[in-house]
Every structure is written in structure tokens, then in C-alpha cells.
């Protein structure tokens, strides 16, 4: 079921979420619904507060063919490096801006089978996970935004970023 995405301003987006003590059928259903909602909105990540649930669950999938990470009670345990890049958020439509994020993280969480997972993530995957875990702590990317990028300037921002990347090679 596609759920309604809560948009800023909303108290639920500003609360620290509750850890999940037991993976119940309701939690599995929530994860399925969050996935459907994320895909429907063309998002690369979604956190439970964005669908009005105050629990520590976040999903990240960068592309349809990429691995889906379903994270219960995720905690970042190691960080390294830093990179500034543009972000947006399903809960803050039409706002985009640059955020400084770690380029390598280790995140520990439980998957839907209740297995403990220790994931090492880099670059854009690491960025997306940091963005979603911020949601679980009531933090929005706009709190950390360095510079707002107007929606009509996004394409030229990406082009400039790519040409700088190529120049580094």
C-alpha cells in the first residue's frame, strides 16, 4: 500500500524514533509499504517518520537493479572522509542543496529476518544511509545544508560536478 508522505513542518519528522524490540508482522508490512511508497515517489531512501511511524526503520535502494537495504535500528559505528554533494528529500519537495557527508561509513542494523548486519558503505550509498539515519534522529538535510541549489539549476550542478570529477582522473 502506498502511504502518505509527511512533509515538513511536522512534529513526527523532528522526533527521535523508538528502537524496535521485536520484528512483528506489522513491522514487515510497514517495510513493504515504505518500499512501495519510496518507489512510487522515485526516492532512493525512506525513513519510518516520513510515513508517520515513530520507529527506527529505514530503507535505501539507489536504483531498481541495486540491492535493497532494509535497516532496523541502524547505527553508524565508523565514519571516514568527507564530500559535499546535492541532496533532496521526499518530505521537503522542491528543495535541494549541498550537504557535507562522510564518504565511508560502517552501519550496523538488523534486517527483516532479524539477522545482525554490519555493512560498509561508500560514497553515494553512504550518503543516502546517513540521510535516512538522520531522519530517525529527527534531523533533516536542510538543517545541515551548506548551499541551496534551485531546482532549475540542478542539471547544471550535476554537469559541473561530473566535469570536475573527470578533471580529477
Does 51 engage in binding with Co ion (CB under 5 A)?
Answer: no
Is 70 annotated as catalytic? no
- Secondary structure class of 5 (helix, strand, coil): coil
Instruction: Single out the residue of 124, 79, 76, 83 nearest to residue 100, CA to CA.
Output: 83
Least separation in angstroms between CB 135 and Co ion: 6
Nearer to Co ion, 109 or 131 (CB): 131
Least separation in angstroms between CB 169 and Co ion: 31
Check: CB of residue 105 under 8 Å from CB of residue 78: yes
Least separation in angstroms between CB 33 and Co ion: 17
Strands of 23-96 (E only): list them: 45-47, 57-60, 69-80, 83-87
Tell how far CA 101 is from the center of its chain: 12
Per-residue mark of binding to Co ion, 83-112 (x: CB under 5 A): ------x-----------------------
Pairing label, strands 69-80, 57-60: antiparallel
Determine which one of 132, 155, 159, 162 is catalytic: 132
| All three cell numbers of 22 | 521485536
Least separation in angstroms between CB 118 and Co ion: 24
User: Where does this chain touch Co ion (CB under 5 A) — which range of 53-61, 64-72, 82-90, 99-107?
Assistant: 82-90
Nearer to Co ion, 72 or 136 (CB): 136
Does 34 engage in binding with Co ion (CB under 5 A)?
Answer: no
Check: CB of residue 109 under 8 Å from CB of residue 19: no
Which positions touch Co ion (CB under 5 A)?
89
Catalytic residues: 132
Amino acid at each position: 500500500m502506498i502511504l502518505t508522505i509527511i512533509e515538513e513542518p511536522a512534529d513526527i519528522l523532528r522526533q527521535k524514533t523508538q528502537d524496535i524490540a521485536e520484528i512483528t508482522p506489522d513491522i514487515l508490512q510497514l517495510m513493504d509499504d515504505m518500499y512501495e511508497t519510496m518507489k512510487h515517489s522515485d526516492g532512493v531512501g525512506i525513513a519510518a517518520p516520513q510515513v508517520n511511524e515513530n520507529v527506527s526503520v529505514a530503507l535505501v535502494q539507489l536504483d531498481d537493479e541495486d540491492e535493497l537495504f532494509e535497516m532496523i535500528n541502524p547505527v553508524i559505528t565508523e565514519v571516514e572522509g568527507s564530500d559535499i554533494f546535492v541532496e533532496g528529500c521526499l518530505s521537503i519537495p522542491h528543495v535541494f542543496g549541498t550537504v557535507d557527508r562522510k564518504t565511508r561509513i560502517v552501519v550496523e542494523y538488523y534486517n527483516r529476518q532479524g539477522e545482525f548486519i554490519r555493512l560498509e558503505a561508500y560514497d553515494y550509498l553512504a550518503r543516502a544511509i546517513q540521510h535516512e539515519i538522520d531522519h530517525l534522529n529527527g534531523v533533516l538535510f536542510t538543517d545541515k545544508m551548506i548551499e541551496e541549489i534551485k531546482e532549475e539549476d540542478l542539471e547544471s550542478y550535476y554537469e559541473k560536478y561530473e566535469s570536475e570529477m573527470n578533471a580529477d582522473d
